[in-house]
Amino acid sequence: MATVRYDGADLYYASCGQGEPLLLLHGNGEDSSYFCGQIPSLKKHYRVIVMDTRGHGRSGRGEGQLNFTRFARDAAAVLDALGLSSAHVLGYSDGGNTAIRLALDAPERVRSLILNGANLDPSGIKWTVQTPIVLGYGLCRLIGLCDAGAREKAGILGLMVHHPHVRPSELSAIRVPTLVIAGEHDAVRQRHTEQIAGSIPHARLRIIPGGSHAVAAQKPAAFNRELLQFLQSL
């Protein structure tokens, strides 16, 4: 366990295992412990690197607004701290959105890309999921007028309300091997997930039957099988 100081915040990260580096990026409102169902299997084959996203878990927030461009730079800073020029990158949910941004902004840092439950814009989220998020965001903004904790929570929820904004055509610039993976009952609309896979050259698409948005936690054996099959085919 360690931290790297970058852009006004201490960013927490840890690594275990040996082999090619594999960076895991968690979702909104979570921390790196989300991947507890993946690490034991992955570390047998890879050097697994986890980090807590800025403003989440054990990482500081720093000043200014949270956004995926900033998160992608944070991920690159963690790789730099470990002396790594590049890594395979697995991103879940908002971590997937960060992974997309990293692949677009710094393609030399990404060896391969695994996108689980990512979205290109807020419309990709099912309204039954997005509506409570929007309501919670509005409430946190209101309470945040007099409460710092609520203001910080609003900043995190705002990532799902207002971001990301990636055009499908931008994804054609991603040239690394890519796996797009989602649960059958994901919070992201399946046609949106299919659009992501269809917009990245030669991307593979896998839908795990019965899986939810948190399919890696819900069905770790099935998820890990797809993940390792992809990585070991490279």
Q: Please say whether the dihedral angle defined by the alpha carbons of residues 157, 56, 170 and 216, taken in this order, is positive or negative.
A: negative
d(CA 3, CA 173): 32
Flag whether pLDDT at 195 surpasses 90. Answer: yes
Q: Measured in whole angstroms, how far is the alpha carbon of residue 50 from the centre of its chain?
A: 11
Strand ranges, E, within 29-168: 47-51, 87-92, 110-116
Contact (Cβ atoms closer than 8 angstroms) between residue 9 and residue 60: yes
Q: Are residues 187 and 84 in the same domain?
A: yes
Q: Is the pTM of this model over 0.95?
A: yes
Last residue of a domain, one of 135, 163, 191: 163
- The CA distance from 109 to 86, in Å, is 4
The span from the CA of 26 to the CA of 50, in Å, is: 8
Q: What is the pLDDT of residues 197-223, one digit of tens each?
A: 999 999 999 999 999 999 999 999 999
- pLDDT score for 1: 80
Q: Which structural domain range is residue 116 located in?
A: 2-121+164-232
Work out how many domains the chain is built from and give that number.
2
The predicted-structure confidence for 132-155, as pLDDT tens digits, reads as follows: 999 998 898 889 888 888 888 888
Nearest-angstrom CA–CA distance, 110 and 104: 9
Pairing relationship of beta strands 9-16 and 47-51 according to DSSP bridges:
antiparallel
Q: Are residues 35 and 150 in the same domain?
A: no
Give yes or no: residues 138 and 221 share one domain. no
Q: What is the mean pLDDT of residues 86-108?
A: 99
Question: What average pLDDT score do residues 25-37 get?
Answer: 98
Which amino acid is it at 191?
R
**Helix ranges restricted to H, 167-219:** 190-199, 215-218
Q: What is the CATH number for 7? A: 3.40.50.1820
